[in-house]
Structure 1
Amino acid sequence: MRPRPLAAAGTAAALALTLAACGSSNNDSSMPGMDHGAKSSASAKASPSMGDMPGMDHTAAGNGLSDTKDGYRLTGEGGNLAAGKAAAYRFTVTGPDGKPVTDFAVDQTERMHFYAIRSDLTGFQHIHPTMTNDGTWRANLSSLASGSWRMFTSFTPDSGAGKGTAFVLSRTVTVPGSETKTALPAAAKSAEVDGYTVTVKGEPMAGMAHPMTVTVTKGGKPVTDLQPYLDTYAHLTAFHEGDTAFAHLHPTTEVDGDHGGPELSFNAKLPTSGNWRLFLQFQTGGKLHTAALTLKVG
């Protein structure tokens, strides 16, 4: 998910969004079922490779709604996960030869990005799992609410037939119990997130790249101490209402130490119209903040 440079700037107009604060810590969250990204082991890290620059995009990876693509397959635990408990979700990616893939390229400091999202677009978790030598990955999930969840894996093989190709594969998992669905919040231009005010402007259209700007302030003053998180100043993941289709965006703003903000520029490209739930993650003072945004795309 690496946005390509914008060919032309568009006129920025107010973008109707809903932003809801989701908590602020590296491993915990103030809301049940929310997680900002678990730490990954040293074995799952490596030096950044070519193409791991902020502002690049993996739109070629598709919407992620299948567990297979171009001979690659995601296999995961098929049983139910218990409600209200932390759980380890284990999975494997096999290649066209049917063997587990163990050679992955580094993308945004990680070899594997894992996302869990509930069918009503609540309970978002972004985790960096760990892999054993046989290619089995383990994603440590926080407490899950009852209902249907989709588990996404985002990766790029570093060898084999798919070398250099970004993939997003997913499987659904049922968490048993009485399911209470949450309606998607109404749109708004800005909201408070852990004491920060996030304001969004832009004109996204389905299937087209458009400029989008996020401005971060606190107490009415511009925030200029955003810290790099996964080699960017903000991590933005989007899921489509109804089918939970996946999209991933990054700011085109160049990273310059702990001096990010107050304005972040994005190349917004969402493939289909309708409501999208965006999860914006940014870091200050060593703490990660996650804002949930409801975006109407024409």
Structure 2
Amino acid sequence: MATSSRLTVRRRTLGAGAAAALALTLAACGSSGDSSSMPGTGHGGKSSASSSAGAPQAMGDMPGMDHMASGNGLSDTQDGYRLTSEEATLPSGKRTPYRFTVTGPDGKAVTGFALDQTKRMHFYAIRSDLTGFQHIHPAMAADGTWTADLASLTPGSWRLFASFTPGGGPGKGKDFVLSRTVTVPGTATDTPLPAPSTSTQVDGYTVTVKGELMAETAHPLTVSLARDGKPVTDLQPYLDTYAHLTAFHEGDAAFAHLHPTTKVTGDHGGPDLAFHAELPTSGNWRLFLQFRTGGTLHTAALTLRVG
């Protein structure tokens, strides 16, 4: 869960009291030619590769009209930076590339990006019913065109997020999260959001979240991991941390992610990871926790209620 801030601004704009810890933030994870997507994480929360199927719920705008949204990563523009793509529809049932560009205030493609958690671009995909989570590190061509290799998508409306920090220009050092929506044609079946729960299982691991969150207030949050009833103590670093937590708000798919405050000390992290979280909006949030053990990346999902 990333060093952070308020969902709407990100870690560098966090209130003074929570900035020392890591608050929930509109995140930017960076880029390279590799991918850490977790294809098809659905609502079951039982497997890091479970499939997702569900009818789209309203995301507040139509494909290509993302500039009408504002804040929480739900806009394709901010401070003169714009996420652009010619693709408004993507095929279902097969891996597919999504090509996009980030343009700066001068209208030219940005090619210089700062590293954030070892990457220059973090790219996320989520269906409007909050299934199908993917986290990808796309590759950039010399002209500034990024290609995110998406795993199989199910029919419905999807929101695609680009999280980055410009390495130069007027936005240098500032974290941005921009998004656009695409449609995957076909018959979509609604998948209701699972009820809020403090625990879930994935790949034999039990993930437990402790802490009651209130909107617009920083609260401590602890994530504990166990396997076969025993505390997990062999977490390996992933993106320079022991866990990566991404959150999406039910109804509008507003985006945020946190990073643990726990210091990384080699391949023996766990069982408890400490966080400070500040979520600006009440309601249900779908959380996706990614962690690595034995060289394998796991993704656990659960619904958390924010009062």
1:124 aligns with 2:144: no
Query: Do the aligned residues in 1 keep the contact of 2:84 with 2:100 (CA within 8 Å)?
Result: yes
For 1:117-170, what per-residue CA distance to the aligned partner results, in whole angstroms no more than 9, with x for missing partners? 000000000000000000000000000000000000000001000000000000
1:110 aligns with 2:119: yes
Partner residue in 1 for 2:257:
248
Partner residue in 2 for 1:5:
20
Deviation of the 1:5 alpha carbon: 2.1
Deviation of the 1:199 alpha carbon: 1.1
Partner residue in 2 for 1:172:
181
Deviation of the 1:80 alpha carbon: 1.2
Partner residue in 1 for 2:293:
284
Partner residue in 1 for 2:190:
181
Query: Do the aligned residues in 1 keep the contact of 2:47 with 2:201 (CA within 8 Å)?
Result: no
Query: Do the aligned residues in 1 keep the contact of 2:198 with 2:304 (CA within 8 Å)?
Result: no
1:142 aligns with 2:143: no
- TM-score normalized by the length of structure 2: 0.80
Aligned positions of 1:217-228 closer than 5 A: 217-228=226-237
Query: Do the aligned residues in 2 keep the contact of 1:206 with 1:269 (CA within 8 Å)?
Result: yes
**Counterpart-to-counterpart distance in 1, 2:219 and 2:88:** 41
For 1:25-73, what per-residue CA distance to the aligned partner results, in whole angstroms no more than 9, with x for missing partners? xxxx35369xxxxxxxxxxxxxxxxxxxxxxxxxxx9510000000000
Query: Do the aligned residues in 1 keep the contact of 2:219 with 2:277 (CA within 8 Å)?
Result: yes
Deviation of the 1:236 alpha carbon: 0.3
Q: Counterpart amino acid of 2:51?
A: M
1:22 aligns with 2:47: yes
1:74 aligns with 2:89: no
For 1:264-296, what per-residue CA distance to the aligned partner results, in whole angstroms no more than 9, with x for missing partners? 001112120001001000000000110111011
Query: Do the aligned residues in 2 keep the contact of 1:233 with 1:260 (CA within 8 Å)?
Result: yes
Distance 1:30 1:244, change over 3 A: closer
Query: Do the aligned residues in 1 keep the contact of 2:246 with 2:288 (CA within 8 Å)?
Result: yes
Q: Counterpart amino acid of 2:175?
A: A
Partner residue in 1 for 2:169:
160
Deviates more, 1:199-208 or 1:137-146: 199-208
- TM-score normalized by the length of structure 1: 0.83
1:297 aligns with 2:306: yes
**Counterpart-to-counterpart distance in 2, 1:202 and 1:79:** 39
Partner residue in 1 for 2:221:
212
Q: Counterpart amino acid of 1:86?
A: R
Matched residue count? 256
**Counterpart-to-counterpart distance in 2, 1:188 and 1:274:** 13
Tell me, which stretches of 5 or more residues in structure 2 are unaligned? Answer: 5-18, 23-42, 54-69
Percent identity at matched positions?
A: 71
